[in-house]
Amino acid sequence: MSRTAGGSSGNEAAPAGDRRSSGPGRLLIAVYGVFALAATARAGFQILTKFAEAPVAYLLTAFAAAVYVLATVSLARPGRTWYRVSVAAVTVELVGVLAVGVLSVLDAEAFPNETVWSGFGSGYGYVPLILPLLGLAWLYRNRPGKTQFLL
């Protein structure tokens, strides 16, 4: 990757052993990719066809889609900058699913139509709740500067 006139490639100081996108990381990226596609398609359809019914719910789904896209891309890219973007995206996802989950359970009338994160992701088998926990654990385990030992 080369640097462009407007910024860096995001590859600066990438450790030689950057393993975030290998092994189980590939599965994590694949799941994020599926959720990115699913949430984007769902939000697009809902916003284009029935936005007036539940604009907050559909905009939250669009926001979740954007977070999933950012997480997918950043998890797949090497380097400290992308690592930081991954941590931020996955943290926002966790906060979002917890906040929307609590609000949708306590005040179901505020969410007449479900979002990806409603009921802690119950409509998706609670994967939206589990995924950021796994993502943050994977990122912690593969943080920059951590020595990788072969067993």
What is the average per-residue pLDDT within 6-31? 67
Q: What is the DSSP string of 39-82?
A: HHHHHHHHHHHHGGG-HHHHHHHHHHHHHHHHHHHHHHS-SHHH
The predicted model scores a pTM of: 0.82
pLDDT digits (tens, 9 = 90+) for 85-111: 999 999 999 999 999 999 999 988 877
Model confidence pLDDT, tens digit, residues 48-80? 999 998 898 899 999 999 999 999 999 999 999
Beta bridge partners of 4: 7
Per-residue pLDDT at 144 = 87
Locate 86 and state its tokens: 């991954």
Residue 11 pLDDT > 80: no
- From first CA to last CA, the distance across the chain in angstroms is 32
- The yes-or-no verdict on residue 7 having pLDDT over 60 is no
Q: Which residues make Cβ contacts (< 8 Å) with residue 74, sequence separation at least 6?
A: 82, 83, 85, 86, 89
Print burial letters for 119-144: b (CB count within 10 Å at least 16), e (below 16): bbbbebeebbbebbeebbebbeebeb
- Give the number of other Cβ atoms within 10 Å of residue 32's Cβ: 27
Q: What is the pLDDT of residue 147?
A: 58
Q: What is the pLDDT of residues 119-145, one digit of tens each?
A: 999 989 999 999 999 999 999 999 887
